[in-house]
Amino acid sequence: MIAIKNGHELEAMRQACRITAEARALAGKMVQPGVTTKQIDKAVHDFIVSQGAKPSFLGYGGFPASTCISVNEVVVHGIPGGYVLQDGDIVTVDVGAYYKGFHGDCAATFPCGKITDEAQRLIDVTRQSFFEGIKYAKRGHRVSDISHAIQKHVESNGFSVVRAFIGHGVGAQLHEDPEVPNYGPAGRGPRLLPGMTLAIEPMVTAGRYDVRVLKDKWTAVTVDGSLAAQYENTVLITDGEPEILTVIEGL
């Protein structure tokens, strides 16, 4: 069942999403050569807790950290640790915060130092594919209208859309109905209604879209070793234009 949020619930979600967006921004500023992924995770954890919230990912399904930090060929669910960021890395930080009964969820890929032009193009295309998708995040469209627009933009730029992981509804639960793929034909899936809140999250690779999960049972990498990027926001369907909940001024 797809949850339609009322005004009170949406106010709590806006607060949760603000904390989540500020945590993502904090992480992005820390992406510098010489910093470990564990240091970023700790800073994000401490910030979320300081806001009276809880990290959504910590312990979720047994996940051992407050953020997913995925470097270079890691697509999603990278576990923060002792890895020291290097000049030229691209670093995806995925973060969620739980506040007053609701979750916010967002992610972005950040350049570490000087990266290649192609790596920057991958980041830019991935981010823009999100905005191409939410052109259809409006009352009366179907979920797969978003999916198709994302895929079309990604593939027209020579990149691939990951199939193994998809977006989702978000609210009182971190993962709710409906599923929101980043690929597929338009005109399918549930119709969008005001009050739906969706985590729309294109995951894009520079090579093939095939992934494999490492022995830690979390870290998903590209099979061909190509770079991967992600961009995600929590989005509210309204009577008009969609509202991006995980956005803060200037970002």
Strand arrangement, sheet containing 203-205: 160-161, 203-205, 228-230
Query: Residue range 96-123: average pLDDT?
Result: 98
The 10 Å Cβ neighbour count of residue 161 is 23
DSSP tag of 215? T
E-strand ranges in 16-113 read 54-55, 67-71, 74-76, 90-99, 102-111
* pLDDT level of residue 248 (50, 70, 90 thresholds): confident
pLDDT tens profile 56-90: 999 999 999 999 999 999 999 999 999 999 999 99
Q: Is the pLDDT of residue 251 over 60?
A: no
- H/E stretch holding 66: none
Q: Is the pLDDT of residue 250 over 70?
A: no
Q: Is the pLDDT of residue 117 over 70?
A: yes
pLDDT tens profile 7-62: 999 999 999 999 999 999 999 999 999 999 999 999 999 999 999 999 999 999 99
pLDDT at position 249, please? 63
| Nearest-10 crossing angle of helices 117-133, 143-156 | 160
Question: d(Cα 42, Cα 144) in Å, to the nearest integer?
Answer: 36
Nearest partner of 47 among 28, 64, 32, judged by Cα: 28
Strand arrangement, sheet containing 197-200: 176-180, 167-169, 197-200, 233-236, 243-244
CB 216 within 8 A of CB 205: no
Topology of the domain comprising 7-244: Creatine Amidinohydrolase (3.90.230)
Query: What mean pLDDT value characterizes the chain?
Result: 97
Using a 10 angstrom Cβ sphere, with 0-12 exposed, 13-18 middle and 19 or more buried, the burial of residue 120 is: middle
**Residue 56 Cα distances to 44, 79, 157, 230, angstroms:** 12, 15, 33, 18
Query: Residue range 143-163: average pLDDT?
Result: 98
In the chain, domain spans: 7-244
